[in-house]
Chains A and B, each alone.
Chain A
Amino acid sequence: MTAISLDGVTLSIGGRRILSDVTLAIEDGEFIGMLGPNGAGKTTLMRALLGLVPVSAGSIQVLGAPVHRGNQAIGYMPQVSSPISGFRLSGRNFVVSATNGQRWGLPWPGKADYRDADRALELVGATELARRPLAETSGGERQRLLLAQALLGQPRLLLLDEPLISLDPNRQHAVIDLARRVQKELGIAVLFSAHELNPLLGTLDRVLYLGNGHAALGSVDEVITGPVLSRLYGSAIEVVRLNGRIFVMSDQYEVERGDHRHDDAHGHARDHGHGHHHA
């Protein structure tokens, strides 16, 4: 079955076009790495798949049905937003709050809910960690709890928004392997957004690259090329391969190592300013 299909989709927020006229299809059982500079629309596309961002043109089908809000078949890990401060609920309580959390009623999870939460926690290796108060976990540890929440229930599609942020390289690989394992076991599609291509190289089936309102979906060899990326970045891009790693270079700008954070206005120009824009 087709997990995600976009047909001439245009997404705009506040009158600004984020994606225009994008058509693509992602099949079940595919692991898709989604890349693109800051502000390219990765989060927006995921929110559109969840029915939280209206499509201004075209149509989206998710798991064979028109996109709709509250689709319980989608496991979603949001990009880490504001840290929740000042409360001391345990990680396990936090994770379990998402099992059927949309239903009205008392907040007492049942046995089955706890079993599901514990299964998810074990999958991400956070069983021990989940005993601690959430307020006392590190950013990377909280990431794992969020990932556990995405695995609750029986997701038939996983949307993981930058799950590698603030993880050290070992953990990054653990998370990628985990997502791959879950995806293989359940035979579902995974949309995995990231800022670096290299950690994902051995794992992903296809790349979805966003930029400049356009999207390119295909194998690494098809998408990560000078001409395709130049179109997505709107400026000349060169792709260099070295020891099995891929570097996306811009010839116009100096190397800006470690400059991952920039506002969107300059994002496109500066993003590939990193000599090795971790693409």
Chain B
Amino acid sequence: MMTPTGTRVITGTATIMLSYDFVINALAAGGIVAVVAGIVGFFLVMRGQTFAGHALSHVGFAGATGAVLLGVSPFWGLVALTLAAGLAMGFLGDRVSGRDVAIGMVLSLSLGLGLLFLHFYTSFATRATSLLFGNVFSVDRTTVHTLAMLGMACLLALALMARPLLFATLQPDLAEARGVSIRLVSVLFMAIVAIAVAEAAQIVGVLLVFTLMVGPAAAAQRLSTRLGRGLLLTVIIGLAETWLGISLAYHTDWPSSFWIAALSGAVYFASLAQAKIRG
């Protein structure tokens, strides 16, 4: 269908789409978060702590709804509580972050609390959906800036600790012997994860954080056995899924989080199939 006219129509709608501020903001916010969540998620997947990441976002839900109840910005409530929970998980170490049941309990407790907070503040209920499932088109310029700053802090911190983090992940006994503080690494990393989770929740909502944090990284790790290439692939997949998802949402009027989740799932399962075929 790529006749000259067809091409013109597509570039035409793309131009129109890009002329809207809310679309530009959505693409910018989505791009920032895809990169940050993807890279942080890569290490999360490698450490086998994806469920902990998932639970953190639910803690964030309680934080956001609680913040509204107190008259504070839900975003900062979300950041504060995920950060606190992330630090706690890091301190308790494998004893908690590796235990599915304990994490699952924290997760459901947080959702329950969030629900209670909503109950006290009923007019907020309409915004519950956007907290739970995200609404990328409602992101404003200030939020984009905040996301960029937080994201940069996240990546900078990760860059500073990536080497011992990798070492501690792959070979904890040897790393400890060489002088790496496993606990410090784990606390710092969970703090970084918490911020990344809070960011991802702005785009796809607390329930779908997995799609940005875990999907691209897990697919990339299926496709590459090299660290640098895996990280690059994660970023490319994450950006593609997010931007394509946002465009599809714009054109179809279906929720963007649906499209991103669908693309993320499709890419992950395709990577599984691809790895199977290859051998």
A interface residues (Cβ-Cβ under 8 A, vs B): 47, 50, 52, 69-72, 74, 76-79, 81, 84-90, 93-94, 97-98, 100-108, 132-133, 146, 149-150
- The CA-CA distance from A133 to B203 in the complex, in Å, is 33
The contact string, 1 if C-beta is below 8 Å from chain A, for chain B 143-173, is 0000000000000000111111111001111
- The CA-CA distance from A97 to B168 in the complex, in Å, is 9
Q: What is the distance, in angstroms, from B53's C-beta to the closest C-beta of chain A?
A: 14
| Interface pick from B30-38, B63-71, B76-84, B224-232 | B224-232
Q: What is the distance, in angstroms, from B158's C-beta to the closest C-beta of chain A?
A: 9
B interface residues (Cβ-Cβ under 8 A, vs A): 45-46, 48, 159-167, 170-180, 221-222, 224-228, 230
Q: What is the distance, in angstroms, from B50's C-beta to the closest C-beta of chain A?
A: 9
Flag if A101 contacts B162 (CB, 8 Å). Answer: no
Flag if B167 contacts A87 (CB, 8 Å). Answer: no
- The CA-CA distance from A102 to B181 in the complex, in Å, is 9
Using A86-B48, A102-B178 as known contacts, say yes or no to A97 and B166 having CB atoms under 8 A apart. yes
Q: What is the distance, in angstroms, from A80's C-beta to the closest C-beta of chain B?
A: 10
Flag if B163 contacts A106 (CB, 8 Å). Answer: yes
Using A87-B221, A94-B170 as known contacts, say yes or no to A106 and B159 having CB atoms under 8 A apart. yes
Interface class of chain A by DSSP: loop
Flag if A102 contacts B170 (CB, 8 Å). Answer: no
- The CA-CA distance from A87 to B224 in the complex, in Å, is 10
The one of B167, B172, B230 that contacts A102, using a Cβ cutoff of 8 Å: B167
Residue of B nearest to A77 (CB): B174
The one of B161, B163, B171 that contacts A100, using a Cβ cutoff of 8 Å: B163
The one of B159, B177, B227 that contacts A52, using a Cβ cutoff of 8 Å: B177
Flag if A97 contacts B171 (CB, 8 Å). Answer: yes
* 11 more CB-based (< 8 A) A-B contacts, given A76-B177, A102-B167, A149-B174: A52-B176, A72-B178, A79-B173, A81-B173, A87-B221, A93-B225, A98-B167, A98-B174, A101-B167, A103-B163, A107-B227
5 sample A-B contacts, Cβ–Cβ < 8 Å, listed by A number: A79-B173, A94-B171, A101-B164, A106-B159, A107-B162
- The CA-CA distance from A89 to B222 in the complex, in Å, is 10
Flag if A107 contacts B163 (CB, 8 Å). Answer: yes
Flag if B175 contacts A87 (CB, 8 Å). Answer: no
Residue of A nearest to B46 (CB): A87
Chain B residues with CB under 8 Å of A77's CB are: 174
Flag if B160 contacts A105 (CB, 8 Å). Answer: yes
- The CA-CA distance from A78 to B163 in the complex, in Å, is 20
- The CA-CA distance from A98 to B164 in the complex, in Å, is 9
Q: What is the distance, in angstroms, from A56's C-beta to the closest C-beta of chain B?
A: 20
Question: Which 4 A-B residue pairings sit nearest by Cβ, starting from the closest?
Answer: A70-B179, A101-B167, A78-B173, A90-B225
The one of A70, A87, A98 that contacts B171, using a Cβ cutoff of 8 Å: A98
Flag if A149 contacts B221 (CB, 8 Å). Answer: no
Q: What is the distance, in angstroms, from A63's C-beta to the closest C-beta of chain B?
A: 14
- The CA-CA distance from A149 to B172 in the complex, in Å, is 13
Residue of A nearest to B45 (CB): A87
Flag if B175 contacts A101 (CB, 8 Å). Answer: yes
Residue of B nearest to A100 (CB): B163
Q: Which of B166, B167, B172, B178 has the most CB of A within 10 A?
A: B178
- The CA-CA distance from A161 to B163 in the complex, in Å, is 25
Q: What is the distance, in angstroms, from B272's C-beta to the closest C-beta of chain A?
A: 12
Residue of A nearest to B218 (CB): A86
Chain B residues with CB under 8 Å of A108's CB are: 228
Flag if A84 contacts B170 (CB, 8 Å). Answer: yes
Chain B residues with CB under 8 Å of A102's CB are: 164, 167, 175, 178-180
- The CA-CA distance from A107 to B167 in the complex, in Å, is 9
Chain A residues with CB under 8 Å of B230's CB are: 89
Chain B residues with CB under 8 Å of A146's CB are: 171
Chain A residues with CB under 8 Å of B225's CB are: 88-90, 93, 132-133
Flag if B177 contacts A101 (CB, 8 Å). Answer: no
Chain A residues with CB under 8 Å of B177's CB are: 47, 50, 52, 69-71, 74, 76, 78
Chain A residues with CB under 8 Å of B165's CB are: 107
- The CA-CA distance from A108 to B227 in the complex, in Å, is 9
- The CA-CA distance from A84 to B48 in the complex, in Å, is 9
Using A52-B176, A85-B48 as known contacts, say yes or no to A101 and B163 having CB atoms under 8 A apart. yes
- The CA-CA distance from A265 to B23 in the complex, in Å, is 66
Q: Which of A69, A79, A132, A150 has the most CB of B within 10 A?
A: A69
Flag if A70 contacts B178 (CB, 8 Å). Answer: yes
Flag if B164 contacts A104 (CB, 8 Å). Answer: yes
- The CA-CA distance from A74 to B175 in the complex, in Å, is 12
- The CA-CA distance from A87 to B225 in the complex, in Å, is 9
Q: What is the distance, in angstroms, from A42's C-beta to the closest C-beta of chain B?
A: 14
Residue of B nearest to A69 (CB): B179
Residue of A nearest to B279 (CB): A136
Flag if B176 contacts A104 (CB, 8 Å). Answer: no
Residue of A nearest to B230 (CB): A89
The one of A101, A149, A150 that contacts B166, using a Cβ cutoff of 8 Å: A101
Residue of B nearest to A133 (CB): B225
Q: What is the distance, in angstroms, from B84's C-beta to the closest C-beta of chain A?
A: 25
